[in-house]
Structure 1
Amino acid sequence: MDGLRWRTIGAAAGIVLALVWVMPNIVSFSENSWWPSKQKLNYGLDIQGGLHLVMGVDVDGVVKESTTRMVASIKADLAKDQVEGADVKTDKPEAGEVIITVANAEAKKKAEKVLSEKYPTTLQVVGSTDNSVTARYFDAYLTEYKNRVIQQAIETIRNRIDEFGVAEPSISQQGSNRILVQLPGMADAEKAKQLINTTAKLDFMIVSTEKTQQELQALIADAEKAGNYKMAGMKYSDYVNKLNADLKGKLPEKTVLYFEKAPNAASMEAGAIPFLLRTDTDLTGGALDDAFVGYDQYGGPQVSLHFNTAGATKFADLTGNNVGKQMAIVLDKIVKSAPSVRDRIAGGQAVITLGGGRDRNGMMDEAKMISTALRAGALPATLEQLEERRVGPTLGADSIAKAKMGAYIGAALIILFMLIYYKGMGAIANVSLIINITGVFALLTSFGATLTLPGIAAIALTVGFAVDANVLINERIKEELAMGHSLKVAIKEGYHRAMSAIIDGNVTTAATAVVLLYFGTGPVRGFAVNLLIGIATTLFANVFVSKVIVDQLMVKFNVKKLSI
């Protein structure tokens, strides 16, 4: 009895949670509503329409640009070491190849020493003569560098798309030099393309201490109240521009107010940390050659920066004049990090430390995010539009209407079959099936997942193997009844003996879904996610909940006969 009571409570709790999560998709709740969850299910491009773009990334152009900067950097290093008659040129910039010519053999040794000391992991010597050295990017470095260019471009595009507030945009790499961008619900295609192709703006800015955090928060609250606006209801860039315009005269001269997203906040609106920044630092992403993840003496992740020759001088002066202060790294008016300057940093090399108190994976993720953001601003790749498709809302509505119709017809036939063939137990299976599908949509909503047509196909498949579980159970019960056992014993044995087949079938299906999730992309991954969720809800609803319902009928309502 106690076991049944707790199982009933567990089943009821699961059903209530599912209803709480799924109701916002059925009923519109206001922001001030008492309903605990207001999150709605996101719909993919194939359902609600939107914009489909394939962008070509000029990877070779970025490599050529990097090689050109490297030529200037090597020239400066050779001049600094007083290498006689040194000159640097490149005939194959797309391969990162440089040719260094010098006056004599002694100068050649000095040039080789400069390469081995300053570029040990970047350049390899591939040929030489009496007065020249030919060096080229390591193959592994060049491959990794090109991949980073793609990731930089993806990060840049994602920063742009966030301006629109598009729910669940899909931005992924295709091949070696293409990016697929899908924007569900996006109607303004021209504005989206213009924004995507805008170059990221990176700035290094000193944090001003003329106003405390409390004073900044008070100024922000007063400006929002006077202007009747909030960050949550505006694009971030529009909000920042309006806020700084409203605070003109109240903030110190040559300062600007930007924000950083709090580490645990889901969005900028949910946790924005204000920073008062000086605008007279004049150090931008154009001064940066590279940014990558490195490791400190204890193996902890950090971000290593490499400035070009002109940038190295500016950076040394900036850090030397602001020891003990914070230097904010700002990408598109968003503060990505604000490390403290401990000492003057000369030589064009710098490190951003991430501090402790967190797990290594969290620190590594932050280091990758900061380095990618820095490179996105410093090394913007030219994007060429290769393909554009606009999926209209009508087409999306038509697709989902047909998918719904197919799902409704299939579900109706299954429900009718279960009622006719299994009678009372079929009715219990149908109730469990409704709970099952409710649970699928509830979990998709709670995870913030995006529903696509392949996802709907997975839900339809869920209906199939959910009912299959009940068919196994009912057939086992019928076998037990045929052997002369009582209804109570038959139900107990039927569920028990069918469980191994149900577990085997669902485990093998789950294994297939995991493989699809790992190796698949786009729609295939969406199908796999929906399939895994369907397996979980099937085991809960069509096995656990259906058993609870039957036990309640047997024990609480003293049912002696149940048609099957």
Structure 2
Amino acid sequence: MEKKGRFKRALLFLGTVFAILYIIPTFIPKGAIDEKNPDGVERLPSWYANIFSSRLGFGLDLAGGLELKYSVDYQTAMRKNVERWNEDLQYDLVGRLVEQDNKGLDPANQKNAKKFTDLERKAYFSAGDTQRFTSRVLSFRAMRITFVGPKAAEDQKLLNTEFIRKNVHEDAVLKAKGNNTFDIALPIKIVRKMRKEMVSQTLETIRRRVESSGLVEPDVRAAGATQIDIQMPGISASKKQEMRQVLGQTAELTFRIVDDTDTTIFSGIKGDVEAYSDCYGVTTDQCAQIKNLKAEAANNRRIGNIQAVKTADAQIETIQGNRKRKPTIKWCGPNVSGCFQNEYYVRADTKSELEGFVLNVLVSQNKIPADHIVGYEEYVERRYDGKKVGKKKWRTHYLFRRVQVSGERVKSSKVGYTSSQDLDIGANWPVVLLTFDRRGAKQFDKVTQKFVKKRMAIMLDDVVESDPVLQERISGGTARITLGSSGSRTQTLTEARTIVTVLNNGAYKAPVNKVEDNEVGPTLGRDTIEAGVTAMVVGMGLVIIFMLIYYRIAGVVANLALLLNVAYILAILVAFNTHLTLPGIAGMLLTVGMAVDANVIINERVREELRVGRSLRAAIQTGYSRAFWTVFDANITTALAAWILFRFTTGTLHNFAVTLLIGVICSMFTAVYVTRRVFEWMLNRGLTQIRF
């Protein structure tokens, strides 16, 4: 029995020594930062630091840093899925209609089926004599198909549950609406499941991006149903800006074909661009007034009333002169002054100005077909001899909506450099090199073969990073993103590294929108540390003095358990890389009080046993046994409350719950187990008088 007790005490002693050694680095911070030691000079002996190198991290309220909160826009992501399903369904449904009509087949050998062009397929669902059905997206979870024409009743039989689950989603529901119309929708239960998956995947992507940037103590967790909270304590100003850039980029990599054949969209919108420019930055009433004055000026110009034209122009200039920011949008085309690209496009100084024009004019007026989109590129205008003209601007690209190859097929990416043969960019310029997986390599090979001499847009989100002409088939399973040379080499290298980090750690499964961006300065952290430490030292000091005066030797044992309780809590926090915040310090103070309360209950129970005449050993054994359930009940209720806070809260409350939960476990261990082992050790050493 004595051997078993010695083993337990030895194990307890070794565990306590390990916990103390584990937390010592926390109280000896690193020295100044230099080139050899970017994290600071280690003040501990090297042999010691190699074994015990972990230090307790402090939260934003203590160390300062950056807190970002993003909202996951799952509805936009799901709508994109529905749009893609709509395109796939159109493609496959046309195939079934062709098969039903026995159209395009060689009667002599049906294996030699005629391959329809995209234009021929489009004729089946576009307005015209050959139209057989229409399909459109209703919402982020539903789409609608309507069969038209004399064969509508026969054609709709092709649309069954099996076909829908194969071409749309395995859980999609088909519902007849009458008049040859059908809705295809995802059930709410599936929507909630997909939302949860998107948030979870986005959270993991954010965590990988933060950790790959060299931050070893980030705190990334879900906050509610669709929000993600990222806390990065103690990071520098330059690192803050880098993290904003890394986390703010969705980085959905796609490869699309530039539509050079249909120039009617951008070639015929010169008037729309001028009208948008006239009304940029003014109110609706002022815009209407400008339009009326323009009409009057045009009419007076026709009849030769030059003075009236000048008056109208002056009034327009007065209205437009009060706007805070002047428009920079311009319509460009071949032989247009100031434009040097041999194509039609719209340009502006900022991307937001271009986006406003596209959304408020082209999209709202349905001037962009459903199978096309507009991409944006940052570039520097070049003359025909290759020399740069002016500063960086943004321009539009007219693209086919269909994604030929997606970023999901990219196996790896890295930063590379151009060779001396890259005349357009120059030698030794940073680029991003991509390697596709086996399936992606086959897709890329097929696409480059099909669209030789066409331009392929390599896009990150809605930004065209480069649009090279496919001079020949590319079958090596690799590609290159050229970032251009509009900025400095350092800026381009930083951008390339950011893109590589994002691509290698995955694109977001849904767009993210920043809802909070808070910086906490180090002055606030220093003040709160001093206040929290002072409160903890004063509180523990008063408790220690009270226990010594009231319980004497038993008070010494209780105080030892109290100090070990704090040491165990800190060791566990360090081991699990948990940040200590001001609410966390409050949680530690609360557990100190609970630990003392447990010792008071036990000591009073032992006193009662001594009063009825039991021996010291028997009184200690009986007192601990009878006090156990009282102490356990008090701690289990607190632990339950802490678990609820831990499970359903975020931020400071979450850290309070973590510290409180750890503290409850440690206080139970030190008050019930450690102190009892100490008393048993005293008794075994012949101590017969212990005052309780």
TM-score normalized with structure 1 length: 0.66
2:53 is aligned to 38
Q: CA distance change for structure 1 residues 544 and 177 in 2, over 3 Å: closer, same or farther?
A: closer
In structure 2, which of residues 205, 230, 235 is the aligned counterpart of residue 186 of structure 1?
235
Please say if 1:99 is aligned against 2:99: no
Counterpart Cα distance in 1 of 2:225 and 2:562: 45
Counterpart Cα distance in 1 of 2:74 and 2:411: 33
* Offset at residue 442 of structure 1 (A): 0.9
Contact conserved, 1:170 with 1:181, CA < 8 A, in 2? yes
Q: How does 1:65-214 map to 2 (within 5 A)?
A: 65-82=80-97, 85-90=131-136, 92-103=138-149, 104-112=152-160, 114-115=163-164, 117-119=166-168, 121-188=170-237, 189-200=240-251, 201=253, 202=407, 204=409
AA of the residue aligned to 2:142? G
Contact conserved, 1:171 with 1:182, CA < 8 A, in 2? yes
- 429-438 vs 24-33, which deviates more? 24-33
Counterpart Cα distance in 2 of 1:172 and 1:82: 49
Q: CA distance change for structure 1 residues 19 and 76 in 2, over 3 Å: closer, same or farther?
A: same
Counterpart Cα distance in 1 of 2:503 and 2:526: 39
2:395 is aligned to none
Contact conserved, 2:76 with 2:510, CA < 8 A, in 1? no
1:230 is aligned to none
Counterpart Cα distance in 2 of 1:177 and 1:444: 28
* Offset at residue 547 of structure 1 (A): 2.2
Q: How does 1:42-441 map to 2 (within 5 A)?
A: 42-82=57-97, 85-90=131-136, 92-103=138-149, 104-112=152-160, 114-115=163-164, 117-119=166-168, 121-188=170-237, 189-200=240-251, 201=253, 202=407, 204=409, 241=415, 281=441, 376=507, 379-381=509-511, 383-441=512-570
Q: CA distance change for structure 1 residues 504 and 55 in 2, over 3 Å: closer, same or farther?
A: closer
Contact conserved, 1:125 with 1:135, CA < 8 A, in 2? yes
Contact conserved, 1:49 with 1:392, CA < 8 A, in 2? yes
Counterpart Cα distance in 2 of 1:91 and 1:540: 61
Contact conserved, 2:551 with 2:691, CA < 8 A, in 1? yes
* Offset at residue 179 of structure 1 (A): 3.0
Contact conserved, 2:89 with 2:168, CA < 8 A, in 1? no
1:133 match: secondary structure: strand
* Offset at residue 440 of structure 1 (A): 1.0
Counterpart Cα distance in 1 of 2:634 and 2:474: 65
1:292-346 deviation line (CA, Å, top 9, x unaligned): xxxxxxxxxxxxxxxxxxxxxxxxx999x9xxxxxxxxx9758999xxxxxxxxx
Q: CA distance change for structure 1 residues 87 and 152 in 2, over 3 Å: closer, same or farther?
A: farther
In structure 2, which of residues 569, 594, 611 is the aligned counterpart of residue 482 of structure 1?
611
2:552 match: secondary structure: helix
Counterpart Cα distance in 2 of 1:335 and 1:283: 22
AA of the residue aligned to 2:248? N
Q: CA distance change for structure 1 residues 72 and 444 in 2, over 3 Å: closer, same or farther?
A: same
Counterpart Cα distance in 2 of 1:523 and 1:206: 39
Q: CA distance change for structure 1 residues 129 and 541 in 2, over 3 Å: closer, same or farther?
A: closer
Contact conserved, 2:82 with 2:137, CA < 8 A, in 1? no
Contact conserved, 1:455 with 1:526, CA < 8 A, in 2? yes
1:499-558 deviation line (CA, Å, top 9, x unaligned): 2322332233333333333333343333333223223322332332222222333322x2
Q: CA distance change for structure 1 residues 108 and 488 in 2, over 3 Å: closer, same or farther?
A: closer
In structure 1, which of residues 530, 540, 556 is the aligned counterpart of residue 659 of structure 2?
530
Which of the two has higher C-alpha Rg? 2
Please say if 1:10 is aligned against 2:138: no
1:294 is aligned to none
In structure 1, which of residues 526, 529, 544 is the aligned counterpart of residue 673 of structure 2?
544
AA of the residue aligned to 2:135? K
Contiguous gaps of at least 5 residues in structure 2: 29-42, 99-123, 125-130, 254-406, 418-431, 448-472, 478-497
Contact conserved, 1:418 with 1:429, CA < 8 A, in 2? yes
Contact conserved, 2:133 with 2:147, CA < 8 A, in 1? yes
AA of the residue aligned to 2:187? F
Q: CA distance change for structure 1 residues 422 and 40 in 2, over 3 Å: closer, same or farther?
A: same
Contact conserved, 1:481 with 1:490, CA < 8 A, in 2? yes
1:445 is aligned to 574
Q: CA distance change for structure 1 residues 33 and 87 in 2, over 3 Å: closer, same or farther?
A: farther
Counterpart Cα distance in 2 of 1:54 and 1:422: 51
Counterpart Cα distance in 2 of 1:563 and 1:21: 34
Counterpart Cα distance in 1 of 2:652 and 2:168: 43
1:434-493 deviation line (CA, Å, top 9, x unaligned): 111111111111222222222222211111111112111221222233233443443333
Counterpart Cα distance in 1 of 2:225 and 2:680: 58
Contact conserved, 1:97 with 1:136, CA < 8 A, in 2? yes
* Offset at residue 205 of structure 1 (A): 5.4
Counterpart Cα distance in 1 of 2:531 and 2:660: 20
Contact conserved, 2:72 with 2:510, CA < 8 A, in 1? no
- 155-164 vs 25-34, which deviates more? 25-34
Counterpart Cα distance in 2 of 1:428 and 1:72: 75
1:105 match: secondary structure: helix
AA of the residue aligned to 1:125? L
Identical positions, percent: 30
Q: CA RMSD in A?
A: 3.9
1:339-394 deviation line (CA, Å, top 9, x unaligned): xxxxxxxxxxxxxxxxxxxxxxxxxxxxxxxxxx77x45x541x333322111122
AA of the residue aligned to 1:7? K
1:312 is aligned to none
2:212 match: secondary structure: coil
1:26 is aligned to 27
- 397-406 vs 175-184, which deviates more? 175-184
2:54 match: secondary structure: coil
Q: CA distance change for structure 1 residues 173 and 318 in 2, over 3 Å: closer, same or farther?
A: farther
* Offset at residue 418 of structure 1 (A): 0.4
AA of the residue aligned to 2:636? V
2:458 is aligned to none
AA of the residue aligned to 1:90? R
Please say if 1:470 is aligned against 2:599: yes
1:562 is aligned to 690
The number of residues matched between the two structures is 430
* Offset at residue 185 of structure 1 (A): 2.1
1:388 match: secondary structure: strand
Contact conserved, 1:112 with 1:133, CA < 8 A, in 2? no
Q: CA distance change for structure 1 residues 151 and 561 in 2, over 3 Å: closer, same or farther?
A: closer
AA of the residue aligned to 2:227? R
* Offset at residue 411 of structure 1 (A): 0.4
In structure 2, which of residues 615, 620, 628 is the aligned counterpart of residue 499 of structure 1?
628
